[in-house]
Amino acid sequence: MGKQAAAVALTMACNCQGETSGFNADDASEQGPVNPPIESCGVCKSCKKILAGNHPDVIQIQPRGPFIKIEQIRALLHTLSMKPYEAKTRVVIVSKAQCMNAAASNALLKILEEPPNRSMLVLIATCGSDLLPTIASRCQQVKFNRISREYITSRIIKEHGLKPQAAEIISAMANGSLGKAQMMIAENWLSRRKWLLAEIRTLSLQPIARLFALAEKLSHEKEALAERLEITKTWFRDLIIDRYDTEKIINQDVADQVRIASRQTDLATLLSKVDAVQKAQNRITANTNLRLSMERLLIQLAQP
């Protein structure tokens, strides 16, 4: 949705040294950040450092594993106790802020209640309700809407030279995020999806040992597992949608296989399989045993 890009743009605007911004370095206040300009120049020393990700006063906090841990917040507290090196406004960008565990969230409250001078914290979350109410209530919330599929499709066709059908599939799976769409292209997502769909289509024909082997393979590739479960869910979603509106099928490049599989399975069974994938996603989010979760799911999906 552009949240990370907006955070970087705000950081640049708060620290731009260029003439085009109309923002003079002498305007910085020891009592707190001054109002930033609407735009930054993008070419001054400060803007270039921020864009390159090597500005000493722009701090990025990312989850370590599934969580943002209290050790990371304690280290942040120590850094914020000192003055910025060179920035007019030091900026902390907490990505995936919903991944803070309870201890980390409580530690962050102190900073939010008494922010250090010349410092700004930007928390990026999937949804405000994913944060603890005590955290959300101390932040100024800015909501981002999904970018339209049409815009993402046209943008990635122009920038990456994709064929329209491939671009439409990626834009549908990107769920309104241009950054995710670009990452999918960079990581050769279409090829991985093609392999996975071929595996899913033949699950009911495989012996139990083959299902267990596939479950083991998927569980070992933990970083890609969430994406592969989402692809699996869209396959069964398409089998349902095919009965009502074929133009809304996501996997248009395999529409013929979708149509055949849809006719071979009743609606109640398809709905139960979508539900099984959703429950597996929830279990994995809750940090359960990945291999057991995948074995259970594949056995359910292989049922006729």
Q: How far is CA 256 from each of CA 242, 246, 287, rounded to the nearest angstrom? A: 10, 11, 37
Q: CA–CA separation, 201 vs 196, rounded Å?
A: 9
User: Same domain, yes or no, for 113 and 151?
Assistant: no
pLDDT in tens, the chain (304 residues): 778 888 998 999 888 887 544 444 444 434 344 454 567 788 888 888 898 888 989 999 988 877 888 999 999 888 888 888 888 889 999 988 888 888 888 888 888 888 888 889 999 988 777 788 888 888 888 888 888 889 999 998 998 888 898 899 899 888 888 888 888 888 888 888 889 999 998 888 889 999 999 999 888 877 788 888 989 999 999 999 999 988 888 888 888 889 998 888 899 999 999 999 999 888 887 777 888 999 999 999 998 7
Q: Is residue 291 part of a domain?
A: yes
Q: Is residue 122 part of a domain?
A: yes
User: Same domain, yes or no, for 122 and 209?
Assistant: no
Number of domains comprising the chain: 3
User: Same domain, yes or no, for 113 and 180?
Assistant: no
User: Same domain, yes or no, for 17 and 115?
Assistant: yes
Q: Is residue 142 part of a domain?
A: no
Q: What does the pLDDT read at residue 38? A: 60
Which residue, of 96, 113, 136, is where some domain finishes? 136
User: Same domain, yes or no, for 10 and 132?
Assistant: yes
Domain holding 151, by residue range, is 147-187
Q: Is residue 179 part of a domain?
A: yes
User: Same domain, yes or no, for 53 and 102?
Assistant: yes
User: Same domain, yes or no, for 152 and 229?
Assistant: no
Q: CA–CA separation, 64 vs 75, rounded Å?
A: 14
The CATH number covering residue 239 comes to 1.20.272
Instruction: Indicate the angle between helix axes 164-173 and 222-241, nearest 10 degrees.
Output: 110
User: Same domain, yes or no, for 200 and 115?
Assistant: no
User: Same domain, yes or no, for 36 and 65?
Assistant: yes
Q: What does the pLDDT read at residue 22? A: 44
User: Same domain, yes or no, for 291 and 225?
Assistant: yes
Q: Whole-prediction pTM value? A: 0.62
Q: Is residue 253 part of a domain?
A: yes
CA angle at 235 for the pair 153 and 196, rounded to the nearest 5°: 90
Q: Is residue 141 part of a domain?
A: no
Q: CA–CA separation, 23 vs 56, rounded Å?
A: 20
Q: What does the pLDDT read at residue 19? A: 56
Q: Is residue 29 part of a domain?
A: yes
Residues 40, 42, 46, 51: is their CA dihedral positive or negative?
positive
- Cβ neighbours around 110 below 10 Å, total: 12
- Cβ neighbours around 250 below 10 Å, total: 18
User: Same domain, yes or no, for 128 and 239?
Assistant: no
Q: What are phi and psi of 37, to 5 degrees?
A: -75, 170
